[in-house]
Amino acid sequence: MSRVINFGAGPSALPESVLQEAALGLLDFDGTGIGIAEISHRSKQFTAFLNDVESLICTQLEVPPTHSILFTQGGGTGQFSAIVLNLLARHRLLHPDLANEDRVLDYVITGSWSKKATEEARRLGGGRVNVVVDARPYSKDAKSFDNIPPHNTYTFSPDPALIYYCENETVDGVQFSSDVSSPNSFPFHLLPQEGLLPLVADYSSSFMSRPITRLADHAVIYAGAQKNIGPAGLTIIIVRNDCLVDVDAAAKLGAIPVPISMSYKTLADGNSVYNTPPVLPIYISGLVLRRMKELGGVQYFEQLNKRKADKLYAAIQAGEDKGLFKAKVQEGSRSLMNVVFDVIGDEAKFVAGAEEKGMKAIKGHRSVGGIRISLYNAVTEEQTDAIVEYMKQFVSDTDT
Ligand code: PLP
């Protein structure tokens, strides 16, 4: 067996030591003689494991007691729908007499995934979508997602049912800064000031890569596991407890009925085992989270991920200076997880050369093209050095 360096955007690389451990768990989970893919989700061994996974997330991200951690299926796309339905139900209970067109859903659009989430809110109805800001007019070509827009361009509604943003745009390589004083941060200071805000963040491709900025101020944070912490099939939701609402009571008042598998309150009341959770992805994610803790937790990965991204962006800049590479995203808005750039000239040669050296999955998303190198937690600094070295070599070989 020989493994390659996988820079894929998701599902993506996982630590080899974890995969080896998981292989043993597939045969015998926790001394039960039953494999993890075969054991009951209500067994005492799996219950203990699930509680441990929850506490590994809770302690590493410092989740306050005001919030619950839920595990479910359906991915980020499932949450595009679930957030709208649960938060419209919450809004209905708070304001039963408001007409639907006066229920506003605020969306910040900084890339392909937040655009998709906005489309789902429009599709479901039950409220009026307000685009707080769309980043495209602020891009270099006035049509691409290449920036976090300036703070003075955001217009939030006074009492929305939800306020939505995507922390890291996986396709476009755009990420909010974690430094709240930066002009590229999410503008928390511009949000309406009263009450508990229905602030929602999609952290699918940056979950556990660094601490969550202003976590306690969020109503819902969600992520698919398949980037930084595990295989596809597991969705993690951190939800503030006032958003665990009785969706059936809201439906009686006219809210859109919520499928029972999407009701946050049902999931929370059932400790995430109301129905069968994705047992195997939870297991592998749990092993990854344990390893993370041993290595120094999310702070360790924040430093590591920053170093990796700095090296890669420096290599792009060096190629840009020679007219061979072009970073796609404006400075200050660049993702630490998904690094995107164009090769000026022979892109196919660049990709083929990398593949020959065992570095795979570096092509950009089919909707935007170019190169995308994803640097999730399991990508090591040595692997990053290998692609940086290759890029230097490509530049010096081409620039003769
Ligand atoms: N949000 C972000 C930021 C993503 O990167 C993705 C998938 O890559 C999704 C949402 C959709 O997730 P899923 O494919 O799990 O439905």
CATH of the domain at 303: 3.90.1150.10
Residues 91 and 240 in one domain: yes
Looking at residues 201-226, what average pLDDT do you find? 98
Residue 145 domain-assigned? yes
Q: Find the CATH number of the domain harbouring 289.
A: 3.40.640.10
Please check whether residue 47 lies inside any domain of the structure: yes
3 occurs within a structural domain: no
Residue 9 lies in a domain: no
pLDDT at 400 over 80: no
pLDDT of the residue at 196: 94
Last residue of a domain, one of 293, 308, 323: 293
174 and 323 co-located in one domain: no
Residue 345 has a pLDDT of 86
Note whether residue 6 is domain-resident. Answer: no
Residue keyed to tokens 């993370």: 292
Of all protein residues, whose CA lies closest to atom 5 belonging to ligand 1?
170
Query: Which pLDDT belongs to residue 111?
Result: 98
- Which of 118-122, 256-260, 345-349 is predicted least confidently? 345-349
User: Are 247 and 364 in a shared domain?
Assistant: no
CA distance 169 to 225: 15
Q: What is the rounded average pLDDT of the residues 19-36? A: 98
CA dist list (Å): 308 to 342, 377, 393: 19, 10, 18
Do 43 and 120 belong together in one domain?
A: yes
Q: Which atom of ligand 1 is nearest to the CA of 77?
A: 16
More confident residue, 168 or 194: 168
Name the domain count of the chain. 2
Kindly state whether residues 106 and 194 are assigned to the same domain. yes
User: Do residues 30 and 63 both lie within one domain?
Assistant: yes
What is the model's pLDDT at position 78? 98
**Are the CB atoms for 204 and 113 separated by under 8 Å?**
yes
Work out the average pLDDT over 258-287. Answer: 98
For ligand 1, atom 7, the nearest C-alpha belongs to 76
**Confidence category of residue 1, pLDDT binned at 50, 70, 90:** confident
**Which protein residues touch ligand 1 with a CB less than 6 Å away?**
10, 75-77, 113, 166, 170, 202, 204-205, 224
Q: Write down the mean pLDDT value for the chain.
A: 97
Average pLDDT of the residues in 338-344:
98
Write the pLDDT tens digit of every residue in 111-137: 999 999 999 999 999 999 999 999 999
Long-range CB pairs of 30-39 (<8 Å, 24+ gap) are 36/279, 36/280, 36/283, 37/279, 37/280, 39/279
- Whether 209 has a pLDDT exceeding 80, the answer reads yes
Residue 159 lies in a domain: yes
Distance (Å) of CA 304 to CA 167, 300, 352: 19, 6, 28
Given the DSSP bridges, would you call strands 359-360 and 5-6 parallel, antiparallel or unpaired? parallel
Ligand 1 atom nearest to CA at 170: 5
Domain that holds residue 357: 298-398
- Give the model's confidence band at 195: pLDDT under 50 very low, under 70 low, under 90 confident, else very high: confident
203 CA: nearest ligand 1 atom? 3
Active site residue ranges: 113, 202, 227
Clarify whether residues 268 and 341 are in a common domain.
Answer: no
State residue 131's pLDDT score: 98
Specify whether 248 is located in the same domain as 319.
no
Share of the chain above pLDDT 70, in %: 100
Judge whether residue 399 has pLDDT over 80: no
Distance 394 CA to ligand 1 centre (A): 32
pLDDT at 179: 97
State the closest ligand 1 atom to the C-alpha of 235, by its place in the atom list counted from 1. 15
Cβ count within 10 A of residue 233: 20
pLDDT digits 0-9 by tens, 50-101: 999 999 999 999 999 999 999 999 999 999 999 999 999 999 999 999 999 9
pLDDT at residue 290 in the model: 98
Mutation probe of ligand 1 site: the residue of 109, 112, 113, 222 with most atoms within 8 A of C-beta = 113
- 87 contacts 240 by C-beta, under 8 angstroms: no
Does position 315 have pLDDT exceeding 80, yes or no?
yes
pLDDT band at 193 (very low <50, low <70, confident <90, very high): confident
In a domain, 179, yes or no: yes
Ligand 1 centroid – CA 231 distance (Å): 13
Verify that 307 and 238 share a domain, yes or no. Answer: no
Tokens of 318: 């060096």
User: Is residue 87 domain-shared with residue 179, that is, in the same domain?
Assistant: yes
Q: How far apart are CA 142 and CA 330, in angstroms?
A: 13
Last residue of a domain, one of 275, 293, 311: 293
| Residue 205 CA to ligand 1 centre (angstroms) | 8
**Whether residues 45 and 142 fall in one domain:** yes
pLDDT tens figures, 181-191? 999 999 999 99
Provide the pLDDT confidence category of residue 194 given band limits of 50, 70 and 90.
confident
* DSSP structure string for 251-271: HHTTPPP--GGG-HHHHHHTT
Q: Which of 265, 293, 321 is where one domain is finished? A: 293
What is the total residue count of the chain? 400
Nearest Cα residue to 221 out of 182, 178, 164, 139 = 164
Q: What is the mean pLDDT of residues 245-257?
A: 98
Q: Is residue 13 part of a domain?
A: no
> Are 86 and 261 within 8 A, CB to CB?
no
Q: Are residues 120 and 49 in the same domain?
A: yes
> Comparing 387 with 399, which gets the higher pLDDT?
387
pLDDT > 90? residue 2: no
Q: Residue whose CA is closest, atom 12 of ligand 1?
A: 76
